[in-house]
Structure 1
Amino acid sequence: MKRTHLNLAALSAGALLCQHAQAAFIEGSQGQLELRNFYFNRDFRQSGARDKAEEWAQGFVLRLQSGYTAGTVGFGLDALGMLGLKLDSGSGTAGTGLLPADLGAGGSQDEYSKLGLTAKAKVGATELKVGTLFFRDPVISSNDTRLLPQTFRGGLVTSQDITGLKLIGGHIDRIKANSSSDFTAMTANRIGGQSNGFDFAGGDYALTRQLTTSLRYAKLDGVYQQYYGGLLWNLPVAPGQALKTDLRYASSREDGNFRDLDNRALGAMLTYSLGSHAFGAGYQRMSGADPFPYISGSDPYLVNFVQIGDFANVDEHSWQLRYDFDFSALGLPGLTFMTRYVSGDNVERSAPGQGKEWERNTDLGYVIQSGPLKNLGLKWRNATVRSNFGNDLDENRLIVSYSVPLW
């Protein structure tokens, strides 16, 4: 009889623990559906080039995030589902990066989809994720400038158990491009090669509340190694005024016997905020015999990486002027404006003389702040590029986005 009572007590305790763990798993869950309507037009202005690339598409991004089960080690599961639909395109205007190519017909596919699952575990303030990953870091950063975001496959661990210190590390073995349903091996932009492994580790440390330093080591197996150091300093100057200093340095060399590689990238960006105004000035310099290496399709962490160009060619020197304005000061919250100009020179090229290029960007965005259409965003992105060694482009992107919390 005693044994029966003990067994019943054990079963009851186990059931309560399972219910508690399940409740924690569901309690912390989040769901969001994002709709993106994306029109992309790029006109090619140099002689002998195609006329334009122009497409219009509708995207759906479903994000489901669970909480963590109760206990010393909490477990969870995230899901990412994406669907892209062609609204308008042609065989002569495809190639915007919104949709995958239809190799048979010469245009773009009518639709494509992606599904990603991520298992996660957490102990204290240390978290491990394995599966489909979307994140941004100085040595590897997911691209989210088209219809659907780019994702990675691998493992990522972050830890913030020590006050002021964030540690991060990971291994990536595949990459899924914005306009692709398939994971592929990785290559290095402008460098070439192919790799099935990208490893990185490092940390960010807050020396003070205003001053943070960053260090990273990264390796695209068999292609390149990269060392990165950064400093971010936010200095309050007066009420409503602040000076932000962003310094970055990266040194890259070959890994394995792929080819010799030598690049050093220095970047600095100063931004002075005055109420709703922000004035920025940046400088970027490439040194060495090669361009700056990064995973093709991802976003390089460079101060002069802008809408189209990265200004990271061999020996390129570039500077930037930028202005931002928040219209909330004029009674229009949600309306923002940005314009910038980047100029690069001293580029090594095959033709005689040094290569030169410039790019001008303008962004105008508005997010509805209240009412039934709250979080509906409208954005116009315009760019002009001129170069004596690359393409001359005029580009416009019109993006309508709407995020709907599911619970």
Structure 2
Amino acid sequence: MRVMKWSMIALAVSAGTSQFAMASSQDDSKGFVEDSTFSINTRLLNFGRDFRNNDSGKSRVNETGLGFNGLYQSGFTQGTVGVGVDVIGLLGIKLDSGKGRSGTGLFPTGSDGRSEDQYSKGGGAVKFRISDTVLKIGDQYTTAPVFATDDSRLLPEVAQGTSIVSNEIKGLKLEAGHFTGITAQAQSYRDSLHLPEANFAGAVYAFTPELTGSLYYSKVEDYWRKIYANVNYTHALSDKQSFAVDFNIYDTKSDGLGLQRAEKDNTTKLDNRAFSLQGAYTYDAHTFTLAYQKVTGDGDYGYGVDGGGTIFLANSVARSDFNAEDEKSWQARYDLNMATFGVPGLSFMTRYVSGSGANTGTTSNGKEWERDIEAKYVIQSGPAKDLSLRVRQATYRSSDGVYYGSASIDELRLIAQYPLNIL
């Protein structure tokens, strides 16, 4: 991985002075202060789960919190090498909870089992830009399919390390990263996910305006190595019709101490392929989607220590990922955009996912299903412009309690989110 990582970085940097870069972002830099942006995203979240038929623990959890995500991004100084900084500030405040209702993952939990009243975290990164290549060192959010920070609760995960992204060649994005820690969503202490070290490199290329492909490699020390590939094709049939096809695949193998732990504890060594194929047809306000996903080989598709968002598979939905060993699953989804009917900003979504054949250790044919319903409205104008209001409901059932500790879960999320751009 070291050779691959540094060869990718060398290619990205050298491209900055190549014949491909006729004009660059750095040439257009207005300055450190002049190109600065500052935004605060405010999120109010009520999160509740009803664990039906759960005799071993809580029957219900429900908490409400208010989160503030502040991000300052400076511009780059002028010259051949631009220098800038990014600063992240996060604050979570508990509005409603209780010892009997804690455990939603919104807040840190104390030794008494109660959620903390508030928590905060933050950090900064220094960044350098040559032409259209940016090197960033420090605290940052990541979106690579083999190393992606999660933002599904009150506050997002924050990764600590070094990343480089190059867009020197038209249609080609190159990126690589070296990370040594991730602060979890509901924690304030650094490296709360106990990441030893993760390295990755990858590329995304637009073959045509309709066809893109990507290829990534990652290695998480003492856990696994992954190879990821994606092909996405979107085609407009008319002004009102289009279809899209999206294919994702991961190849994962245990590595280092992860392999040794499996051998010592007589647990499954990861050596699997997880793929999903998704097709979507859009007609006017309506989008119909079908997806199929399958895991083959040994072990579940593993992720988390390399970021809670590192699962770019079609059937990773609100409650379940349908990623157990040997599991196959299918999805049917429907989306409705009410802008066509004169209500811009209002949308609806519903989907059903069913999985079977899962090898969970206690059964070789585990079954699960999930139904999700969502309604969302984004205010289009006025003082509250861009305020979004969302209701998400999920119903989950499985053939036994090996999935997430409960065979039956009803979940409800009420989300109000307001992005404020100050600079």
- Matched residues, number: 380
Matches within 5 A, 1:386-397: 386-389=397-400, 390=403, 391=406, 392-397=408-413
Matches within 5 A, 1:122-201: 122-184=129-191, 186=193, 195-201=195-201
Aligned equivalent of 1:66, options 63, 67, 74: 74
Aligned equivalent of 1:288, options 277, 280, 297: 297
Corresponding position of 2:65: 57
Aligned equivalent of 1:310, options 293, 313, 321: 321
User: SS of 1:272's equivalent?
Assistant: strand
The question of 1:346 aligning with 2:320 is answered: no
Change in CA separation of 1:258 and 1:349 when aligned onto 2, cut-off 3 Å: closer
Matches within 5 A, 1:245-284: 245-259=245-259, 260-284=269-293
Deviation at 1:142, TM superposition (A): 1.3
The question of 1:363 aligning with 2:374 is answered: yes
Change in CA separation of 1:318 and 1:22 when aligned onto 2, cut-off 3 Å: closer
Aligned equivalent of 2:416, options 387, 393, 400: 400
Change in CA separation of 1:25 and 1:354 when aligned onto 2, cut-off 3 Å: same
User: In 1, Cα distance between the equivalents of 2:347 and 2:292?
Assistant: 24
The question of 1:326 aligning with 2:337 is answered: yes
| Alpha carbons 1:120, 1:129 under 8 Å: kept | yes
Task: Give the partner amino acid of 2:302.
Answer: P
User: In 1, Cα distance between the equivalents of 2:59 and 2:247?
Assistant: 39
329-338 or 294-303, which moves further after superposition?
294-303
Which structure 1 segments of 5+ residues have no match? 1-20, 188-194
Q: Deviations over 1:72-112 (max 9, x none)?
A: 11010111101111111111111101111112x21100000
User: In 1, Cα distance between the equivalents of 2:284 and 2:107?
Assistant: 40
Q: Deviations over 1:146-188 (max 9, x none)?
A: 111111100110101011111010011101111111122646x
Deviation at 1:388, TM superposition (A): 1.4
User: In 2, Cα distance between the equivalents of 1:34 and 1:185?
Assistant: 23
Deviation at 1:349, TM superposition (A): 2.8
Deviation at 1:256, TM superposition (A): 1.7
Task: Give the partner amino acid of 1:76.
Answer: G
User: In 1, Cα distance between the equivalents of 2:68 and 2:166?
Assistant: 32
The question of 1:114 aligning with 2:121 is answered: yes
Deviation at 1:62, TM superposition (A): 1.1
Task: Give the partner amino acid of 2:308.
Answer: S
Q: Deviations over 1:233-280 (max 9, x none)?
A: 011222211111101111111212422321111111101111111110
Aligned equivalent of 2:391, options 370, 376, 380: 380
User: SS of 2:325's equivalent?
Assistant: coil
Corresponding position of 1:298: 308
Aligned equivalent of 1:25, options 27, 32, 40: 32
User: In 2, Cα distance between the equivalents of 1:171 and 1:185?
Assistant: 17
The question of 1:205 aligning with 2:232 is answered: no
Corresponding position of 1:214: 214
Corresponding position of 1:10: none
User: SS of 1:25's equivalent?
Assistant: coil
TM-score, with normalisation over the residues of structure 2?
0.87
Corresponding position of 2:48: 41
Where has structure 1 moved over 4 Å in runs of 4 or more? none
Corresponding position of 1:192: none
Deviation at 1:350, TM superposition (A): 3.3
Give the percent of matched residue pairs that are identical in Structure 1 and Structure 2: 39
User: SS of 2:298's equivalent?
Assistant: coil
Deviation at 1:46, TM superposition (A): 2.2
TM-score, with normalisation over the residues of structure 1?
0.90
User: SS of 2:382's equivalent?
Assistant: coil
User: In 2, Cα distance between the equivalents of 1:353 and 1:172?
Assistant: 37
| Alpha carbons 1:152, 1:175 under 8 Å: kept | yes
| Alpha carbons 1:186, 1:196 under 8 Å: kept | no
| Alpha carbons 2:183, 2:193 under 8 Å: kept | no
| Alpha carbons 2:324, 2:360 under 8 Å: kept | no
Change in CA separation of 1:352 and 1:36 when aligned onto 2, cut-off 3 Å: closer
Deviation at 1:23, TM superposition (A): 6.3
The question of 1:95 aligning with 2:103 is answered: yes
User: SS of 1:108's equivalent?
Assistant: coil
| Alpha carbons 1:164, 1:206 under 8 Å: kept | yes
Which structure 2 segments of 5+ residues have no match? 1-27, 260-268
User: SS of 1:238's equivalent?
Assistant: coil
User: In 1, Cα distance between the equivalents of 2:201 and 2:230?
Assistant: 14
User: In 1, Cα distance between the equivalents of 2:102 and 2:337?
Assistant: 35
From the CA coordinates, give the structure whose radius of gyration is larger: 1
| Alpha carbons 2:348, 2:376 under 8 Å: kept | yes
| Alpha carbons 1:173, 1:185 under 8 Å: kept | no
| Alpha carbons 1:304, 1:318 under 8 Å: kept | yes
User: In 1, Cα distance between the equivalents of 2:142 and 2:364?
Assistant: 40
User: In 2, Cα distance between the equivalents of 1:93 and 1:206?
Assistant: 48
279-288 or 126-135, which moves further after superposition?
126-135
Change in CA separation of 1:97 and 1:186 when aligned onto 2, cut-off 3 Å: closer
